[in-house]
Amino acid sequence: MQSTRNKLIELLAENRDEYISGQELSDRLHISRSAIWKHMKQLEKDGYQIEGVSNKGYRILKFPAKISENTIRWGLQTKWLGKSIIHKESITSTQEIAHHVAKEGAQHGTVIIADEQTNSRGRMQRQWHSAASKGIWMSILLRPAMLPQNAPQLTLLSGTVLASVIARKFDVTPYIKWPNDIIINGKKVAGILTEMQAEQDQIQYVIIGMGINVNQDREDFPDEITTKATSLKIATGCEQELVDLIQDILLQFEKMYDNYLQAGFPYVKTIWESFGFKIGKPIVVRTMNKEWKTDFLGIAKDGALLVANDQDKPEKLYAGEIDWFKEEE
């Protein structure tokens, strides 16, 4: 079913300015003309604008801005990422679905995406606000052949992907706040949640959850985060295309991931540090049981946070959070 629709879109798109007759479509897809008609109605529901003229045939007038499996796949230039896409209008959390399909054997590179999440999560059981159709709420399933202790590097890789795409596409300067926040103008525009299923020395799968605020206005954020959150629309002053952005993120992710597997983490580290949030500046570090002020020195070769210790020597931290030092603001 899915592949017939994709072939149909391909045929229509090949002949963008010309009509293609119902008979020709039916011959080439080996389905009846009434089946073609049903597919056309479905495509219209997905937001395609299709013109049907008797004695001439069909042509696509406009591709939809709406997210669907088809609209993401159409024009997606990746080799392996997003070959399987699961799109839902409203679900609890794309992470939840991703875990479920991963356990059922879903393939490396499966992408799960939702217009709205009703119970989406950040780190440490925190909530992530995912307003309907205002942002990109997406999980990527990976099955990397790497040691579980290296999985946090994938969070940094993902942050680097988001910052690179945002910097290239929009006239804004994104920073990455270790380990997982993308910041524009001092406010969080995106967050990343990495979850993993692993045995001692083998990863079964990793799920990279990405939440990107795209088209929210200030009043779309709940009160408790209005001072902390921003969106690409707020930062750039205009509404942005979701499908286009998703495709760019997936393509950049695939390139960065493939390069990382070949060249190792130093490749990611260099790019990460070019977006690194206030390297060399004083920060507040919070771990499970303490909080202290220190200097942020960048990230280590393995992705750990590097901060200055009491003797002003670099020290590695693997878990925790940082914040810029308040007096600086």
DSSP annotation string for 268-321: HHHHHHHHBTTTTSEEEEE-SS-EEEEEEEEE-TTS-EEEE-TTS-EEEESS-E
Q: Does residue number 198 form part of the binding site for ligand BTX (CB under 6 A)? A: no
Q: Exactly one of 191, 220, 249, 272 binds ligand BTX (CB under 6 A); which one?
A: 191
Q: Exactly one of 43, 156, 176, 192 binds ligand BTX (CB under 6 A); which one?
A: 192
CB 212 within 8 A of CB 224: no
Task: Tell me whether residue 122 is annotated as binding.
Answer: yes
Closer of 69 and 181 to ligand BTX (Cβ): 181
Task: Tell me whether residue 33 is annotated as binding.
Answer: no
Q: Exactly one of 71, 95, 153, 160 binds ligand BTX (CB under 6 A); which one?
A: 95
Instruction: Name residue, tokens 């939702």.
Output: 114
Residue 92 DSSP label: S
Q: Does residue number 179 form part of the binding site for ligand BTX (CB under 6 A)? A: no
Q: Does residue number 158 form part of the binding site for ligand BTX (CB under 6 A)? A: no
Q: Does residue number 177 form part of the binding site for ligand BTX (CB under 6 A)? A: no
Q: Does residue number 160 form part of the binding site for ligand BTX (CB under 6 A)? A: no
Stretch that binds ligand BTX, among 18-26, 82-90, 132-140, 264-272 (CB under 6 A): 132-140
Q: Exactly one of 213, 215, 247, 294 binds ligand BTX (CB under 6 A); which one?
A: 213
Instruction: Name residue, tokens 């009434």.
Output: 34
Stretch that binds ligand BTX, among 89-97, 99-107, 141-149, 243-251 (CB under 6 A): 89-97
CB 134 within 8 A of CB 141: no
Structure tokens, 249: 């993120």
**Binding-residue total with ligand BTX (CB under 6 A):** 29
Structure tokens, 210: 């990405």
| Alpha helix (H) residue ranges in the chain | 2-14, 22-29, 33-45, 69-73, 94-103, 152-169, 232-236, 242-263, 265-275
Closest residue to ligand BTX in the complex (CB): 122
